[in-house]
Amino acid sequence: MTETKALLQKYEIVPNKALGQNFLVNAAVADRIVKEATIEGKNVLEIGPGLGALTKRLAHTAKSVVAVEIDEKMANVIRNELPAVTLIHEDFLDTDIDGLFDGERFSVAANLPYYVTTPISLKLLCCADRIDSMTLMLQKEAGQRFFEKEGSKKYGPLTVLAKRSCAIKKIADLSPSDYYPMPDVDSVVVHLECKKEVKDNQKMMHLLNCAFSMRRKTLVNNLMAMNLTREEAENILEKASLPKTVRAEAVDIDGFERLLSVLY
Ligand code: SAM
């Protein structure tokens, strides 16, 4: 806490709530995340380094660290305090992941900004074939979405993409007092170990976006948005051994795998 406040004072920064700037102040949690991330000798991507609470630990252990930060004030802190870290000042949603680490594999560690957790997670999952693991701190409800089962209202593209690509485990529950300023919500740390054989996540993402586009519609109706006639969509479902009237939220991971292989 003292260090965070000292840095905020030194750089005359007021945390920006709109950018999800709740800084991790529990050193034991930061140490645990770095330990669970198993990044010794690896390339590590951090999204939103903020004042560097995780970054400095990652830099100490990893082979190389690239940190992507949207806020120029935070970017300036990292450049000054942690010159060994490669800082990219931009919105991570605009980052060209293919261009990072000369195409080498990498791991991810991040305390994700609450307002943009889902798009960031989906973007990372789309290139899970290049990622060894992701250790993410996120809002409790957002973390829960990785563990949902088919049939639940929160089961969706994030759940399916994460489960097909990774072995997922919860590492820790965090409370608002682990952050400064304190958020209004509880948080969790999850670790996603990416499966080596993952492929076609971009295609799966496209399929999932269509399949879940209107949750109350049947899968056939949603698939018709992929330029398919009703008859074609029904045939695809039949070949994938899925009922004609099924909704996307009732289809399990294997069902989506069958659908993907029939479609492509
Ligand atoms: N890693 C630091 C820590 O644990 O104390 C800060 C975490 S804070 C929850 C989230 C950080 O993400 C902030 O520094 C914020 O400016 C940054 N951020 C917010 N939106 C971003 C985006 N779209 N791309 C990159 N960084 C972003």
Which pLDDT score, from 0 to 100, does residue 195 have? 96
Question: Is the CB of 50 inside a 6 Å radius of any atom of ligand 1?
Answer: yes
219 lines ligand 1 (CB under 6 A): no
- What CATH number labels 2-194? 3.40.50.150
Q: Please, are residues 107 and 193 in contact by the beta-carbon 8 Å criterion?
A: no
DSSP 38: T
Q: What is the rounded distance in angstroms from the CA atom of residue 184 to the CA atom of residue 203? A: 36
Q: Is the CB of 183 under 6 A from ligand 1?
A: no
Q: What pLDDT sits at residue 226?
A: 86
Both structure tokens of 134: 């992701």
Task: Choose one of 33, 47, 65, 89 to mutate for the ligand 1 pocket test, by most ligand atoms within 8 angstroms of C-beta.
Answer: 47
Tokens of 203: 């295609």
Residue 229 to residue 26: CA distance in whole angstroms: 55
Write out the two tokens for 133.
Answer: 């693991």
Which atom of ligand 1 is the closest one to the Cα of 4? 5
Distance from C-alpha of 124 to C-alpha of 147, rounded to nearest angstrom: 17
Q: Which of 1, 77, 111 to mutate to test the pocket of ligand 1 (most atoms within 8 A of CB)?
A: 111
Residue 92: phi and psi, rounded to 5, are -60, -25
Q: How many Å lie between the centroid of ligand 1 and the Cα of residue 102?
A: 24
User: Distance between CA 110 and CA 47 in Å, rounded?
Assistant: 5
Residues paired with residue 166 on neighbouring β-strands, in sequence order? 194
Domain boundaries, the chain: 2-194, 213-257
Q: What is the pLDDT along the chain (264 residues), one digit of tens a residue?
A: 789 999 999 999 999 999 999 999 999 999 999 999 999 999 999 999 999 999 999 999 999 999 999 999 999 999 999 999 999 999 999 999 999 999 999 999 999 999 999 999 999 999 999 999 999 999 999 999 999 999 999 999 999 999 999 999 999 999 999 999 999 999 999 999 999 889 999 999 999 999 999 999 999 999 998 889 999 999 999 999 999 999 999 999 999 999 999 998
- Ligand 1 pocket test, candidate residues 33, 56, 58, 70, most atoms within 8 A of CB: 70
Local structure of residue 13 (DSSP, 8 states): -
Angle between the 253-263 and 157-165 helix axes, to the nearest 10 degrees? 90
